[in-house]
Structure formats: C-alpha cells, structure tokens
Homo-oligomer: A and B are copies of this chain.
Amino acid sequence: MAFWQDGYEGTTMRSLQEATGVNGKGLSNVFGDKEQIFLKALEAYSEMYENVLNDSFAIPSLVAIEKFFEGLIEDQGTAEDPLSNGCLMVNTVFEIDRASGDVKKIVDQYRHMFVVHFSKSLEAANIEGVDDKAEFLVGMLWGALLQMKLCSSRAAAVPMTQQVLKTISSWG
C-alpha cells in the first residue's frame, strides 16, 4: 500500500494512480478525494489485523500472548513485515496529529482491538488486575514497534521482548 510506504503527505494522487493502475478520474469518482481514499486504506489495514488477531487469539490464553510477542521479533520478511514500513496506524498518528476525527476514531478502535484480546487472554488465565496488565502489554507492543523503528532492526526489540515474556510467566 502506497500510504503505508510513503505516508499520507508523501503519497501523491499521481503515485496512487500508478500504484493502483486506476485512472485519476476513476479514483475520484469512486472514492472521492485523497482523504477519503486514505480512510478506506486505514479501514482495510485495521480489518487485516483484526483477522490476524482473531487467529492468534482464537484460544485466549497466556500462551497466545507469549506467541504473539515472540512473533513480533521473528523475521517475517513479508510485505506485511512491521519493520519495513512500521505500523500504518502508528505512523498515521504521528503524521496527521491534527487530522479529522475520523482518523482518530479508526486508530482508537485499532488500539482497543489489542486491549480486548489481551484482556480476554488474561481473564482466561484467571489473572488479577486484568485491565492494568492489558494496558501494560499494549504499551510493550508500542515500545517494541518504536524500538524496531528507531533502530531499523527487528533484533533491537529482542531484549525488551524477553523481559516481557519473563514478566508474563511470572503472572501465570
């Protein structure tokens, strides 16, 4: 996705035309202006990760959480590799801070998606302080993503991820 690679400002209508093969007039007629297209892209991204999380947390448990964080630092090498372009939602928050409420809303529900899955897994494991610990885990996720972004290296998040795994196992 063009927005993922170049950001919102970095993506021009012309580059969108090249990337999609759809003509400029066609893009405008079907989707509307640039912001509308971007919102569609955000929604598509969110849905994609919703499917991924539904899969990872099909059986809510501590093991699911551990597997999730282990997966973070594994070299995926795919187009969806968070390292290559980062998380589109996180990128978006930083780029269009003052953006329309629509963007904020989509990002918020994206964040909430992680909180819910973490909470369910913690609950299933009969752990106390579910809400706080879920927030902690989400924070760790952001930390790992940022660490990888800052260092341009997936390995940079290994030490902190290992510490998280230790903490999680101390809960069980």
Query: In the complex, which range does the number of interface residues on chain A fall in?
Result: 35 or more
A30 at the interface (CB under 8 A from B): no
A86 at the interface (CB under 8 A from B): yes
Query: Given the interface contacts A94-B94, A95-B94, does A146 sit within 8 Å of B136 by beta carbon?
Result: no
A24 at the interface (CB under 8 A from B): no
Query: Given the interface contacts A90-B94, A94-B91, A95-B95, does A138 sit within 8 Å of B147 by beta carbon?
Result: yes
B139 engages A157 (CB within 8 Å)? yes
Q: Pick the contact of A149 from B9, B93, B138, B145 — CB < 8 Å?
A: B93
Query: Which of A37-45, A47-55, A60-68, A127-135 lies at the interface?
Result: A127-135
B131 engages A160 (CB within 8 Å)? no
B143 engages A163 (CB within 8 Å)? no
Q: List, in ascending order, chain B residues with CB within 8 A of A90's CB.
A: 94, 146, 150
Q: List 13 A-B contacts (CB under 8 A).
A: A86-B94, A86-B97, A93-B150, A94-B94, A107-B150, A132-B159, A133-B159, A139-B160, A140-B143, A142-B143, A142-B146, A143-B146, A163-B167
